[in-house]
Structure 1
Amino acid sequence: MLRLKRCLLFIFMLFLIISSSQCQISCALTSFSNALDLASDQREIQHVCLYEIGWCSMIELNYTEAYRAFERLKTESRWSQCYYAYLTGVCQGATGDLEGAVAVFKDVQKLFKRKNNQIELFSIKRSEKLRSSSLSKELCSLAVIEILYLWKALPNCSTAKLQMIDDVSCLGLKNLLLGAISKCLQNTKEAIQYFHLAATDEVGGLSNSYVQPYSCYELACVLLNSPETAGKGQIFSGILTLNRLHVRIHSALASMRAAAQP
């Protein structure tokens, strides 16, 4: 009982660290690792710790530790093994183990069970693409950073860097992520350039349909915060319809209208 209480205390302190404005991922990793050791007889708590260790490791771009955490979840957890398999595969490939990554991507298909689950649909579509293309360490690294961007974790990356990607089908995604990283670093000029390149990449848009609308949205947000931008009310015109963007766009428009009121 004492071990369980200490484990829960570690986890509670962990979430306080993660939710704070000065998030320290390394401290979070230490606390979750301690909680994992203490929860040797508490499988559910172990899985919570492994999930957070995997995510914190991805944020730190420590692909090896992320791979180890997600591989255990893929094997032990009953929740969305398909999703955990995809995370395992991209992290494993990002370490350079491409043969192992391909084998895991094949498992994603076998573990796909919930056709109406958006996370599993995303996982299987991405794994099929990576498995069928000329897989490389750089493509897997790009896939990891894509997850961080889509799950809004990219701002927590301290030294996020993209490798040079020559695959034309990935150039739009690469520019979107480079723009997002530049935005996090407050390099406004570079962010605008990257988002513009991603928004106009029609070839890449065929394989990554969300890239162009997301790029337009990100570009609009950067321009809205730029004092030189004129005609702010027209910035969002022409953005393609995409369900996941609706809330963000309406929120941005609402904030803009509120700021315009006397």
Structure 2
Amino acid sequence: MKSSTNGVGRIFSNAPELNSVDKMCSENLLSPPMDLEAALKECSSALDLFLNNRFSDALALLAPWKNQSMYHAMGYSSILVMQAGMTFDPKDMNAAMEALNDALLLCQRFRKKTGIMVTLSNLWYRQSPESLTEEEMHAELCYAEVLLQKAALTFLDESIIGFIKGGMRIRNSYQIYKECQAMIQSNSHSRGKSTNIHFQGGVSMGIGSFNLMLSLLPGRILKLMEFLGFSGDRELGLSELRAGASSGSLRSILSTLTLLMFHLYVSVILGSGDVDLSEAEALLEPFAKRFPNGALMLFYVARIALLKGNIRLAQEKFLACIAAQHEWRQIHHLCYWELMWAYSFEQNWREAYHYAHLLCQESKWSQSVYVFQKASILSMLPEDEVQKLGENVVDLYREVDGLRLKMAGKSIPTEKFAAKKAQRYSASKPAKLAVPALEMMYVWNGFTIVGKRADLTENMLTTLEKAEEELKHQPNPSEYHLDDQCVVQLLKGLCLRQLGQLDQAEVCFARVSSSEADLKYDKYLVPFSMYEMGLLHKQRGDIQKAISVMESAKTDYKDYNMESRLHFRIHAALNSMTSCQAEMTPL
């Protein structure tokens, strides 16, 4: 295997080279062996260091044993995978992939050895869980976890081959987790009483994560996944993750972070915005008390405050998160993104610009979106203020398309959306976007946060009514004129619905739908307005009509921007309404 210190050196300068596992093990034969219980204790200590912002110290603790202990190898590679996922730096990705490969080889050494005949028989008859030792059981669990991380890193490869490889690894990982679950059900795990809690916690995290994430998929995709052997039961997923979070195991924090990601991000961006903040707070509380200055804890405390509509507290906590550590700048970038939106919700465009500008300068995650966002925020400022900042909005929009990334050969939906909106600035005589920062806010479902505060919603409504008047009296309307009017109507209707002015909101959504035949570019507006109309009917209590309108939005429209994102939101809303109907139906 190739050796590499480039990506690792920036966070742990004394890390040994990533040589082959067998070579390193032969060099350490004289070292006293580390048993499973001792390895778990030391990895728990490393995790505590990590959660206290001591990232290099965590790696330093894991490094000496990463070629002999499967838990040390998994912990070491996990930290490098996190860094690679945040930096998008090829050197970091290569270092993480090499660490993962070494970890897989090491886990393989501890897995139960099987001959060719046993391997063939296992195709028809599952290997008895009773035949595995305590160490072999943990090797299966660690192998599945590392394989899943490798799959996630493989998805960042731009080729379709990388995408297929990632999918196959996910399937293999899932099957091993299922086998580990069978070990628990057969009571074979009781042999290793001291490490039992860590095995059960790891299985709960794996099974729970798979079920929860698959349950988010729209029905037709979920059926295909179930045909391939996966399951997507949301309640089972949540239950397993809750069990893992409360288990007191090494992976308790990982189960907790998965649940927090679901409640605080996935449910907002890919759902209807109905977030279980009380559970999120309860999950975070013990870890926030234990690691009060931990960057991850401060970040999630801030995110909960933001989703509650407590913008000032959120801003304060995000700034505290930035100040808490300076080793991983990428955590700062996450905070910049959140602060950009927090100030945007207040329409404090000058401060929002500051953080958008920092993202453009420092983060590699999605330069296309960052530049579009920066240009859109500047578009909300007076022209003389933009000039004082030394910025040129037209030039920024013209950069957007050339900065796009691809995953598995496919464009990222939000980048594709941004590039299409920015196209109008490529003409010799650019046509200004109407309310681009507010439109992008809607794409990220930010209006669900604004809707928690009547004052912020009313301020948004004032801005939209002003834009509506300007469009109405535009002396030389461009070819985008109707599309811009419909964008404003959709967002205006959303604000009115959140303020409880349902009849006026319905008029706005109906105007968008009635313009379907004349829209030239923003075809996405009609199905999205129907989705919002469905939520309006739900708010009125007419669940059946809400379901009917949303089903129509899902099935009657194809090939428009952000189609998959709308399908996720419709899927979440329909699940919610179907559950409500079931609860209301008498037995």
Note whether the superposition's TM-score is higher than 0.5. yes
Question: What residue identity is the alignment partner of 1:145?
Answer: L
Would you say 1:10 and 2:302 are equivalent positions? no
SS in 2 for 1:61: coil
- Equivalent residue for 2:309, pick from 23, 31, 36: 23
Corresponding residue number in structure 2 for 1:123 = 418
Supply the distance in 1 between the matched residues of 2:347 and 2:518 (Cα, whole angstroms).
25
1:155 and 1:181 in contact (8 A); partners too:
no
Supply the distance in 2 between the matched residues of 1:44 and 1:229 (Cα, whole angstroms).
43
2:298 and 2:317 in contact (8 A); partners too:
yes
Question: What residue identity is the alignment partner of 2:488?
Answer: K
Corresponding residue number in structure 1 for 2:344 = 58
Q: Within 5 Å, which residues of 2 pair with 1:1-262?
A: 6=293, 8=295, 9-19=297-307, 22-96=308-382, 97=386, 100-114=392-406, 115-130=410-425, 132=427, 133-135=430-432, 139=434, 142-157=435-450, 158=456, 159-161=459-461, 162=464, 163-165=466-468, 166=471, 167-202=481-516, 205-226=519-540, 234-236=548-550, 238-239=552-553, 240-241=556-557, 242-254=563-575, 255-256=577-578, 258=582, 261-262=585-586
Change (3 A) 1:13 1:100: same
Question: What residue identity is the alignment partner of 1:107?
Answer: E
Change (3 A) 1:201 1:28: same
Deviations along 1:4-63, one digit per CA (max 9) or x if unpaired, are 7736153243133234xx330111112222333444454122212211111111111111
**Once the 2 structures are TM-superposed, how far is the Cα of residue 3 of structure 1 from its aligned partner?**
8.1
Question: What residue identity is the alignment partner of 1:102?
Answer: V
2:482 and 2:519 in contact (8 A); partners too:
no
2:372 and 2:418 in contact (8 A); partners too:
yes
Number of aligned residue pairs: 256
2:379 and 2:436 in contact (8 A); partners too:
no
Question: What residue identity is the alignment partner of 2:499?
Answer: L
**Once the 2 structures are TM-superposed, how far is the Cα of residue 74 of structure 1 from its aligned partner?**
1.1
Unaligned runs of 5+ in 1: none
Deviates more, 1:95-104 or 1:4-13: 4-13
**Once the 2 structures are TM-superposed, how far is the Cα of residue 253 of structure 1 from its aligned partner?**
4.2
Deviations along 1:40-95, one digit per CA (max 9) or x if unpaired, are 45412221221111111111111111111111111211111111111111011211
1:10 and 1:35 in contact (8 A); partners too:
yes
Question: What residue identity is the alignment partner of 2:348?
Answer: N
Change (3 A) 1:200 1:77: same
Question: What residue identity is the alignment partner of 1:58?
Answer: S
**Once the 2 structures are TM-superposed, how far is the Cα of residue 196 of structure 1 from its aligned partner?**
0.7
SS in 2 for 1:164: helix
Deviates more, 1:107-116 or 1:69-78: 107-116
Change (3 A) 1:68 1:204: farther
Supply the distance in 1 between the matched residues of 2:515 and 2:574 (Cα, whole angstroms).
25
Change (3 A) 1:260 1:147: same
Change (3 A) 1:233 1:44: closer
Identity of aligned residues (%): 21
